[in-house]
Structure 1
Amino acid sequence: MLTNQRQLHYDRQIATWLLLCAAVIFGMIILGGVTRLTGSGLSMVEWKPLMGIIPPLSEEAWLATFEKYRQFPEYQKVNRGMDLAGFKSIFMYEYLHRVLGRLIGVLYFVPMVYFAMKGRVRAGLMPRLWILFFMGGFQGLLGWYMVKSGLVDDPRVSQYRLTAHLGVAVAIYGYMLWLAFGLLFPGGKGTHRFANLAMWVAVLVYLMILSGGLVAGTRAGYAYSTWPLMGTSFIPPGLYEMSPAWLAAFEDITTIQFNHRIFAYFLFVLVHVFALLSWRKGLGPRGTVAMLLLLAALWLQVVLGISTLLLHVPVWLAASHQGGAVLLLTAGVYCAHVLRRQGG
């Protein structure tokens, strides 16, 4: 039977491994955004879970791979006339994205088995680690399901599938952080009275990210490059004019961008109210740090979001905006954990 001190040591090892996996997933999310923004996501028209890790290694192999790409709508309707050098450029983004996904699988599975066989996983944690593993496998399948939607007549992936793909990636990331924080900070001071509100803030940040997935999937971010107005008015014409009206929230670019902005305003106000109420009731040193990190991440994300709009969605800035959203979620999850387990 493990002593308490030894189990805490093993907990820190597992937490460090989970945080490393989360950091790589963070990079994966950024790379996924760059892949989408550079129009590279449909360059690999086949899914080979095992052999797909080997790229074309000869000029003949590259020409054969390029010829397969030329049979699909993206080349025929968007990139007609692209040469082999141009194809190699977009291919490598998608290739690296897929290889990194496989690397994450190995980086997660092998240590998990090692820790389990050595008896270092505390009671009750193993089922949660398996949940993360199966979520990762599902994410791989979902990624190909998303790509397939763009290999038909319309050379764009479905915004629904893209949002689901992003949502599962971020859910894996957030859950992994929560488990790691639980191992590093097992608690002891009770629950803060605003712990439930902190959880809701984290959930709303997650929903905000899904809203951003719809913006990305429909390219709604290009529709209005003005702020705080959308064009010449705060409330643009044409909102919810689709039939049925609710469908506009998912398919009309004006409505999608407007909803994303309004969601951002609501979240901005909510986080500041939450911070003020929490400070008045007392937070303690760790709670204060968590709240400051949350506010800093929020302001950074606001600046990145507005800049992305005004500069008409440059790749580097849009990718930073996506990364900023994940940083905001990180701060939200940490703040929720502190108030739930370490609150005053």
Structure 2
Amino acid sequence: MASSTSRHRPQDQPLTDYDVLIVGAGSAGLSAALTLGRCLRRVLVCDGGDPRNAPSPAVHGFLSRDGIKPAELLRLGREQLAPYPSVELRTARVLEIKPLAYGFEITAETENSRSFTITARKVLLSTGVEDELPPLDGMRELWGVGVLHCPYCHGWEVRDQPLAVYGRGKGVTGLALLVSRWSPDVVVCTDGPGGLTDHARQRLARQKIQVREEVVKCLEGTKKGELRHIVFETGEPLARHALFVHPHQHQRTQFAEHLGCRITGKGAIWIDKKQQTSLPGLYAAGDNTSGLQQALLAAAEGSKAAININETLTREECPK
């Protein structure tokens, strides 16, 4: 590590292995590492595996990188960390995060199943979430191509095509009305009684959005993941080009919960305006926090968290 990075530290604290541990190497984690590297901070990034958008053929809406493959975006992100010698990237899975009086002790495991322990003054969780897709034949197989979650990310690619929206109640109503911005041919599939109010049905009807409440049997598509038909238990199959769904989600890791951090009613990690969780020194950024989910926004959150972490570290190093 560069010797210049150790010139500042709190006088009353032992020297830790790193200033910051970043758990997760997606858009949020790599963006945070870049900012912290430029601050001469000693950083370890633990890359635990593929990101949530790995099945998607492209990342859209990312300024200067619109349409890039998810793996290529991350490859470029890792490549651009190379000029910063104080940033280290390891393929490793974090097993435990233990708070200390002066920071955190972290135990992790390499891809060769070798464990190691390090200390860090601050920790950033950029671990993302897992989607809980409906247990419907074809849903998982078509996920990312024929089954989509975000019209802002994928609406342009399926514009003016026959589309469907899967779900029930208030959530499916809002998503269907949003998707109708990209196509005049949208059908809501509720997979049984939809729980739609009269008002919701009227709103959908005004936009010429049909509702089919038959039980869905399966989704039929191609080997490339393209949707062809929605097949019902009764009634005619519905030919569609793509289906949008907002699946339930859960945290990819349970570190925040195990550390006693505040969790929102929707299962997201609560953070303050500086990206810090309810546990001092532990930060979070990206899809694991509340709000809109998009690669560009995750990268922005990572950068914001890094700036706040660096400024907190600086205050600790330069007391009044």
Output the TM-score relative to the length of structure 2. Answer: 0.29
More helix by share: 1
More strand by share: 2
Output the TM-score relative to the length of structure 1. Answer: 0.28
